[in-house]
Chain A
């Protein structure tokens, strides 16, 4: 054998597996982000716009975890508006609310829970939003898409009690009211 024992020990030390060996920097997958994410600056907002009746609304995209096609809900006895019913979302019981009442516009949600429920309209969706008390659903008439806007493009209410209205966005063809999803559920 030509090599000294120290060379061989060093070789074996690098060859053998140890559960506590360092593996930092192994695969730099997180270091290769997708292009659009890099362009999201700190002053940029991503808004999910949706329609209720004839008007357009938006919530922060980060609050929405999922968009479901509207489906028949499970009836809750003595449920009062705005609670429509509940939904078993992969094992998590999720209440679904009608945001129209909170916004003071006439509700367009058909009977969607119980034995005499109707087939939901094709465009209707349920936005699953993250709240302090767990996930909750918002029944909306249609989902329009995601808008990226600069924070300055939002017209914010100037003082006074604003309720859950975060601002009004006028860059889209129709003015769009940006609301706080938690306020819609309260």
Chain B
């Protein structure tokens, strides 16, 4: 089994002082400046909705869903437009950390938080994004 067949292309981003990664195939777009419309009565991790190319997309604040730290001084908040199944969500993050490729051998399965699937050799935590958002992230938010 060659390492390349299981290589992972990961879109990495900062949340607090930690680098998290999601599958690049999930990512549609990175939006630099987004001012969401607040939604009355929404759960606290929902910042609001934005119109993106004619559809309303909820913006979820990953800093409230993941155990965050102080944002690094160079924080450039961005919104990642990501896909979960046939839906789209916007993820508020503290900054982008590029696209990285990891071989299978570089990944250590298991993580400190429920929705982290594994940690790579350079400290990037691979997120189970669908699990994080569909389970309302009760454990993840309380994990800090």
Interface residues of A (CB under 8 A from B): 1-3, 7-8, 11-12, 14-29, 32-35
- Docked-complex contact A23 and B128, CB < 8 angstroms: no
- Docked-complex contact B107 and A26, CB < 8 angstroms: no
- Docked-complex contact B104 and A1, CB < 8 angstroms: yes
CA distance A11 to B8 in the complex (A): 11
Residues on B with C-beta less than 8 A from A19 are 83, 85-86
Of chain B, the residue at the smallest CB distance from A28 is B43
Residues on B with C-beta less than 8 A from A1 are 104-105
B51 at the interface (CB under 8 A from A): no
B118 at the interface (CB under 8 A from A): yes
Q: Please, what's the 1-or-0 string for B1-16, where 1 marks a CB less than 8 Å from any CB in chain A? A: 0000010100000000
Residues on A with C-beta less than 8 A from B136 are 25, 28
Known: A26-B89, A26-B133. A17 touches B104 (CB 8 A): no
**Count of chain B residues with a beta carbon within 8 Å of a chain A beta carbon:** 35
Residues on A with C-beta less than 8 A from B131 are 14
Residues on A with C-beta less than 8 A from B22 are 15
- Docked-complex contact B41 and A33, CB < 8 angstroms: yes
B42 at the interface (CB under 8 A from A): yes
A–B pairs, 20, beta carbons within 8 Å: A2-B108, A11-B117, A12-B6, A12-B8, A14-B117, A15-B22, A17-B25, A17-B83, A18-B85, A19-B86, A23-B85, A23-B86, A23-B130, A25-B136, A26-B89, A27-B133, A28-B136, A32-B42, A33-B41, A34-B40
